[in-house]
Amino acid sequence: MSHPFTVYQCHSCGLRSITAPGYCSRCRSKQSYELIEAEGRGTVFSCTTVYVCEQKWQAEAPYQLAVIECEEGLRVLGRIADSGANPVKIGTSVTLTEVRDGVPFFHIMQG
Ligand SMILES: [Zn+2]
């Protein structure tokens, strides 16, 4: 499945970032970053149930909004698909399945 979930990687030290930084926060390099495609696998770092949200997402509430600690070393805010009002346990393995309107959706990996 293809999911255009890209992150910026510092040319000098390899630090990764969600947004394009003016300079690297680790090595202070002003060298250009390259865009790489993230695998999108990670674990749930924190999680909260959203009942009230932006109008366009309201029909899907309640849903789980989680901070995912990705294998690339990033923490990403995204939604856990198909979880409804059920909180997801911290440390649960998840994988990115799609990006909708800039929001990454993760599925819980079974087994
Ligand atoms: Zn760097």
CATH number, domain at 102? Answer: 2.40.50
Residue type, 96: L
* pLDDT in the model for residue 20: 73
Task: Using pLDDT thresholds of 50, 70 and 90, give the confidence band for residue 1.
Answer: very low
What separation in Å is there between the alpha carbon of 41 and the centre of ligand 1? 23
User: What is the pLDDT at residue 82?
Assistant: 85
Number of H helices, E strands in the chain: 1, 8
Report how far ligand 1's centroid is from the alpha carbon of 39 (Å). 20
% of the chain surpassing 70 pLDDT: 95
Q: Measured in angstroms, how far is the CA atom of residue 48 from the centroid of ligand 1?
A: 32
- How far is residue 22's CA from residue 1's CA, in Å, rounded to a whole number? 32
CA of 71 to the centre of ligand 1 (A): 18
Verify that 65 and 19 share a domain, yes or no: no
73 lies in some domain: yes
Using DSSP, state whether 18 is helix, strand or coil.
Answer: coil
Is there a single domain that holds both residue 66 and residue 98?
yes
> Domain check: are 23 and 50 in the same one?
no
> Is residue 101 domain-resident?
yes
For 67, what's the count of Cα atoms within 13 Å in the CB-facing half-sphere?
A: 5
Is the model's pLDDT at 8 over the cut of 70?
A: yes
Two tokens at 23? Answer: 């300079």
Q: Grade residue 67 by pLDDT with cuts at 50, 70 and 90.
A: very high
Q: Are residues 64 and 95 in the same domain?
A: yes
Within-domain flag for 84: yes
Work out how many domains the chain is built from and give that number.
2
16 alpha carbon to ligand 1 midpoint, in Å?
8
CA 103 vs CA 30, 66, 71, 81, 106: distances in Å: 28, 11, 18, 11, 10
